[in-house]
């Protein structure tokens, strides 16, 4: 019989695992450590399994604990979703709405969507945060936005991820005056390494220690795509850019595509857009309408505007 099993015990279990110790779990839950230890002991008694090996200085999950951790997380996500849905049934129109957007997403199309939202709900204030790489997802995890539109679909508990559409590709480009613009054949990775690559850094801790699409040991790191594009136009270096952002430069000859075997057969990277929101936070009327607008507008995003 598991009638005495409580959600509080499961939340305590998950908090201890995510925090790394009983003490850190107690801090996270704003409780004394003895209360956390007692809750875990009761949970183990109810389940009749040992969740943690306490023989070392730091408690470690047992094999049974690893298996049951996934079940506990799944139950808590379902409960949070149920609570959010119940709160959302009576939730009225929001005063404001915050959206985090990956700059790889075509911003002109997003602007059209937001204008349609304004026409439907003119009293709702909107805040748009343009955040690169995994920063949009991180903002959502930190409750700093209501919705996130991003190319990062990393699986995170309590975050709902909905497919939007394929995005225009990420292409390697350089300025017309750059040495890489003078060769029509594909450059090797070794040759690319001789030139500075302009790279956008992730201000969030989500991708700490990892690089994406970096081929050159000589890199200049910037915080946004606008700065990156300016440096590429100035022939300081080469870099990957969303096609929608550099199409006019390519047509005018200001920028040139860099063809390299290390970048794939077409020297471009396929991207996908996703819409994310928190399962434990109900979407109000404006947020639900924005979701519908995004799904409709991004359905044909692969076609040129």
Residue ranges per structural domain of the chain: 7-89, 96-166+271-300, 168-270
Q: What is the CATH class of 168-270? A: alpha beta
Tell me, yes or no, if the two domains 96-166+271-300 and 168-270 fold the same way. Answer: yes
Give the distance from CA 297 to its chain's centroid: 21
Q: Which residues pair with 160 in a beta bridge?
A: 277
CATH of 7-89, one of 3.40.50.920, 1.10.10.10, 3.30.2420.10, 1.10.1200.10: 1.10.10.10
Q: What is the pLDDT of residues 208-222, one digit of tens each?
A: 555 556 767 788 999
Contact 195, 214 (CB under 8 A): no
pLDDT tens digits, 125-154: 899 999 988 899 999 999 999 999 998 877
> Could you tell me the pTM of the whole model?
0.66
Residue ranges in the chain modelled with pLDDT below 70 = 1-3, 84-92, 183-185, 206-213, 215, 265, 300-305
- Cα separations in angstroms, 242 against 5, 21, 45, 144: 50, 43, 55, 25
Secondary structure of 11-50 in HEC code, one letter for each residue:
HHHHHHHHHCCHHHHHHHHCCCHHHHHHHHHHHHHHHCCC
Asked if residue 284 lies in contact with residue 161, where contact means CB atoms within 8 angstroms, the answer is: no
pLDDT per residue as tens digits for the range 188-241: 888 888 899 999 988 777 665 555 567 677 889 998 999 999 999 999 999 999
Contact (CB, 8 A) for 231 and 269: no
Alpha helices in 194-242 (DSSP H): 225-233
CATH topology for 96-166+271-300? Answer: D-Maltodextrin-Binding Protein; domain 2 (3.40.190)
Which tokens belong to 247?
A: 């199409």
């Amino acid at each position: 019989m598991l009638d005495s099993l409580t959600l509080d015990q499961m939340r305590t279990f998950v908090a201890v695992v995510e925090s790394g110790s009983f003490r850190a779990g107690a801090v996270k839950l704003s409780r004394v450590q003895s209360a956390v230890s007692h809750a875990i002991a009761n949970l183990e008694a109810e389940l009749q399994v040992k969740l943690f090996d306490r023989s070392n200085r730091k408690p470690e999950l047992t094999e049974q604990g690893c298996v049951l951790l996934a079940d506990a997380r799944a139950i808590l996500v379902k409960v949070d979703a149920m609570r959010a849905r119940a709160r959302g049934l009576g939730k009225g129109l929001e005063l404001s709405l915050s959206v985090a957007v990956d700059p790889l997403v075509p911003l002109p199309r997003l602007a059209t969507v937001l204008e349609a939202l304004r026409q439907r709900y003119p009293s709702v204030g909107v805040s748009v945060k343009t955040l690169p790489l995994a920063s949009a997802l991180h903002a959502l995890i930190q409750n700093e936005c209501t919705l996130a539109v991003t190319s990062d679909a990393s699986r995170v508990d309590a975050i709902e991820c909905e497919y939007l559409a394929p995005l225009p590709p990420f292409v390697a480009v350089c300025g017309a005056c750059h040495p890489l613009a003078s060769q029509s054949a594909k450059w090797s990775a070794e040759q690319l390494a001789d030139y500075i690559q302009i790279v956008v850094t992730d201000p969030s801790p989500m991708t700490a220690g990892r690089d994406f699409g970096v081929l050159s040991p000589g890199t200049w790191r910037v915080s946004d795509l606008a700065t990156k594009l300016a440096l590429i136009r100035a022939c300081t270096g080469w870099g990957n850019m969303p096609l929608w952002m550099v199409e006019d430069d390519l047509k005018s000859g200001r920028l040139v595509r860099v063809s390299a075997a290390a970048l794939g057969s077409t020297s471009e990277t396929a991207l996908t857009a996703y819409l994310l929101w928190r399962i434990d936070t109900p979407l109000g009327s404006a947020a639900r309408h924005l979701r519908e607008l995004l799904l409709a507008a991004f359905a044909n995003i692969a076609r040129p505007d």
